[in-house]
Amino acid sequence: MNLKRDVAVQTYSGLGLSALLAITILNIMLHNMPQSVKRAGEKLLEINSQDGVANAVTTVVVYFRGFDTLGEIAVLFIASLGIGLVLSSHSEHHHKVESSFILKTASKLLFPIIILFGIYVMVYGHLSPGGGFQGGVIVASAFLLLLISHQDFELSHSVISAFETLAGVSYVIIGLMGLWILDNFLGNFIPHDISQMGMLVSGGIIPLIYIIVGIKVGSEMSMIVQNLLKRSDNE
């Protein structure tokens, strides 16, 4: 068809838009905008202590904006599903190259340590930096190590799927329980006394949700990594 004309039209309109944007930004710089930066974070910090969680970032991510986090989980879920769908349509035949003895042994040694570290980051998300997203990715990296060092290692699809289903369903159920008990979706219905702040068991549903997020992220990321690796094996 008229590919050439289409490309030209799109290029010109793109250039036009970029020029407009550039002029606007230049205009802002020339007028020396007043630095009227408002801080919403401080208000969030003020009410943070109500929930008895030592790490304020976790309170914001998991509780105050927990609905966004549920959305992010859904984004990751469908992204992983999409990768599985696009890549599974190709036939699988692996060519196996034996990895070196050193790599194999080292990865076996490292695997439990990385998993343990990942779980620690997940479980202590409400006390120290880290949390479900980070912990989940660490766990997935342990599986990545096994996948690249052991050619015949394969994650069981049904086990991973069981984990991710369990995590996703329980996230929404916890949210709905808040709705039924406190009339507030994702409300903190488990007792969370401020005197417990800093303890492992504190903060009500917040650490629970972060662990769920960790399980979900870990299983999704492991599946994505496996799908991508199997794909690159074929070529």
Interface ranges with other proteins (CB under 8 A): 6, 9-10, 13, 17, 20-21, 24-25, 27-28, 31, 33-34, 36-40, 43-44, 47, 63-68, 70-72, 74-75, 77-79, 81-82, 84-86, 88-89, 161-162, 164-165, 168-169, 171-173, 175-176, 179, 183-188
Query: Residues 87, 80: contact at Cβ < 8 Å?
Result: no
Cβ proximity to other proteins, 149 vs 188, nearer residue: 188
Cβ proximity to other proteins, 105 vs 184, nearer residue: 184
Rounded to whole angstroms, how far apart are CA atoms 182 and 176?
Answer: 10
| Shortest Cβ 35–other proteins spacing (Å) | 10
Token match 């006390």: residue? 127
Degrees (nearest 5) of the Cα angle 14, 15, 21? 90
| Shortest Cβ 92–other proteins spacing (Å) | 16
| Shortest Cβ 176–other proteins spacing (Å) | 6
Token match 């910090």: residue? 45
H-helix or E-strand spanning residue 122: helix 101-123
Rounded to whole angstroms, how far apart are CA atoms 74 and 27?
Answer: 40
Cβ proximity to other proteins, 43 vs 93, nearer residue: 43
